[in-house]
């Protein structure tokens, strides 16, 4: 992700996709620049653009209203207690009304990326940690408590963290790449703004000994689908997400990694 600093605007780029945010409120622009520091840049081109109005939240908590992602007359409408975003699927231009908090813009950006990736069929956001070692990227997926944060904490010094929470997987020129994201989990730190070819996806579990097992493509696709972030109940796009998961499972090895919480697990991926 990247952020361009022009007066009244900030451009945020993740995974090669740039989102420009136009806002008259300097506090919002400062919040975005600070939150996504390290993913910044000043680009003339933007893939998506939003005008942002900072408002008083209708509800006290972001959790007090369900998230809704709906398609209506060519526009995506994304609502929650602390924000409302409208997004034209053709022009990729829209408007955001949100409270002055980082959680609203975080959620909006994630959802916009899932929609654009689904429409293109070229990738997805994966609930997983990911990292680069030796020029190759690895994703580590699993249910809460499976060890995503643990395995990133155990990483040796030559490992570059892409994220401990939300991995960005995108196919470019026939190759699947993993990109760094600023979306942090328990570690509370953004990933590095780099990318690398995706060498494998590991399905994590704790065990008394380290071992790696292969996963058949059908089971691999099912596992990817369980961990792909997608919020819209749109049959057409759900089908594209399904196809994207199947394509990735055929092209990228998916393996089961049972591990002891010890740094030696990284020797299996050297």
Q: Where in the chain is the domain with CATH 3.90.228.20?
A: 123-269
Q: How far apart are CA 53 and CA 150, in angstroms?
A: 39
What's residue 270's pLDDT?
58
Q: How many CB atoms lie within 10 A of CB 35?
A: 17
184 is written with which tokens?
């942090």
Q: Where are the beta strands (DSSP E) in 134-210?
A: 136-141, 160-163, 166-172, 175-179, 195-206
Q: How far apart are CA 141 and CA 204, in angstroms?
A: 6
Name which CATH class applies to 123-269.
alpha beta
State the pLDDT confidence band at 162, using cuts at 50, 70 and 90. Answer: very high
Contacts of residue 60, Cβ cutoff 8 Å, sequence gap at least 6: none
> What burial class does residue 27 get, using C-beta atoms within 10 Å of its C-beta: 0-12 exposed, 13-18 middle, 19+ buried?
exposed
* 74-115 pLDDT tens trace: 899 999 989 999 999 999 999 999 999 999 999 999 999 999
Length of the chain (residues): 270
Q: Which of 53-62, 99-108, 179-188, 218-227 has the lowest mean pLDDT?
A: 53-62
* 195-211 pLDDT tens trace: 999 999 999 988 888 99
What's residue 7's pLDDT?
55
State the pLDDT confidence band at 58, using cuts at 50, 70 and 90. Answer: low
In DSSP notation, 48-104 reads EEEEEEE---SSS-GGGS--EEEEETTEEEEEETTEEEEEETTT-EEEEEE-SSHHH
Over the chain, what is the mean pLDDT? 90
Q: How far apart are CA 38 and CA 84, in angstroms?
A: 27
Cβ-count burial 124-154 (b if 16+ within 10 Å, e if not): bbbbbbbbbbeeebbbbbbeeebbbbbbbeb
Geometric angle at alpha carbon 181, from 12 and 190, rounded to 5° = 100
Question: What percent of the chain has pLDDT above 70?
Answer: 93
State the pLDDT confidence band at 263, using cuts at 50, 70 and 90. Answer: confident
C-alpha of 34 from chain center: 19
């Amino acid at each position: 992700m990247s952020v361009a600093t022009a007066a009244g605007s900030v451009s945020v780029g993740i995974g090669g996709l740039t989102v420009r945010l136009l806002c008259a409120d300097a506090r919002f622009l400062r919040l975005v620049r600070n939150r996504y520091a390290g993913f910044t840049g000043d680009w003339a081109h933007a893939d998506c653009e939003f005008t942002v109005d900072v408002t008083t939240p209708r509800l006290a908590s972001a959790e007090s209203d369900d998230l809704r992602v709906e398609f209506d007359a060519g526009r995506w409408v994304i609502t929650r207690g602390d924000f409302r975003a409208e997004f034209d699927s053709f022009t990729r231009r829209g408007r955001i009304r949100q409270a002055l908090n980082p959680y609203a813009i975080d959620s909006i950006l994630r959802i916009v990326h899932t929609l654009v990736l689904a429409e293109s069929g070229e990738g997805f956001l994966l609930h997983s940690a990911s990292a680069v070692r030796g020029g190759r990227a690895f994703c580590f997926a699993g249910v809460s408590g499976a060890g995503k944060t643990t395995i990133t904490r155990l990483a040796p010094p030559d490992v570059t963290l892409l994220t401990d929470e939300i991995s960005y997987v995108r196919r470019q020129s026939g190759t699947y790449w993993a990109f760094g994201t600023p979306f942090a989990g328990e570690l509370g730190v953004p990933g590095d703004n780099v990318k690398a070819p995706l060498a494998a996806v590991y399905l994590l579990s704790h065990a008394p000994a380290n071992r790696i097992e292969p996963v058949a493509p059908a089971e691999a696709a099912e596992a990817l689908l369980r961990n792909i972030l997608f919020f819209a109940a749109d049959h057409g796009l759900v089908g594209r997400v399904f196809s994207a998961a199947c394509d990735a499972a055929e092209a990228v090895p998916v393996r089961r990694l049972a591990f002891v919480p010890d740094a030696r697990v990284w020797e299996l991926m050297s």
